[in-house]
A and B are shown apart, each in its own frame.
Chain A
């Protein structure tokens, strides 16, 4: 069975500082990996996904994530935080087979300080 662990349920960063959100997965084979963002009272929006091409994946809003098989990690970063990045972020995994369900991590809430 797959699982996802997000280290840190809350992260506080200053505006302009690096954003780093950690995600580790457990799977017998490298899965598909996703990062979603959720703003208050909204649904989830896909930030980026890893599906087996380049290990460094660039997403929307300046975010990127690097797939590291040896570390079973898919950490999300953004070089410079903006106030609008305040939201909840979910890492998710899915088996490499069509139509399979997502397994979500517990989420990390990001607070951006002026």
Chain B
């Protein structure tokens, strides 16, 4: 089945130690999104790629970076994680065509010690 895959599902890192989260998709969608979701809150958009074009949200901290080496993969890099970065990180894809439905991966839960 076509899907959005996130690895790992659970990630533990230390304060200040760089971490990379991975997202891959078999849907061949143009657009890929990264969201941060804290407990009992709605997902908060960090940035997205439309093909190779990177679009950063205005309030996304510089500590968060992203790479999209090809259509299928997208990475979220947190350069120096702080305790406040502990959250669920969700990847989503979108066709870039009609209706704007987004397809979400299962998420990576990040713990910062």
Contact = CB atoms under 8 A, between A and B. Distances in A.
Contacts of A49: 99, 101
Q: How large is the interface on A (under 10, 10 to 19, 20 to 34, 35 or more residues)?
A: 20 to 34
Interface stretch (B14-22, B42-50, B66-74, B79-87): B42-50
Contacts of B102: 44, 46, 102
Nearest to A105: B42
Most chain B CB within a 10 A radius of its CB, from A9, A99, A107, A109: A99
B104 A44 contact: yes
Contacts of B42: 90, 104-107
B30 interface: yes
A99 B90 contact: no
A42 B106 contact: yes
Contacts of B106: 42-43
A14 interface: no
Contacts of A90: 42-43
Interface in A46-68: 46, 49, 51
A42 B107 CA distance: 6
A35 B74 CA distance: 25
Interface string B80-113: 0000000010101010111111111111010000
Contacts of B48: 101
Interface in B13-67: 30-31, 33, 40-43, 45, 48, 50
A98 B97 contact: yes
Interface in A67-114: 90, 94-95, 98-102, 104-107, 109
A94 B105 contact: no
Contacts of A43: 4, 6, 90, 92, 104-107
B100 A32 contact: yes
A7 to B, nearest CB: 15
5 contacts: A43-B90, A43-B105, A49-B99, A99-B30, A101-B48
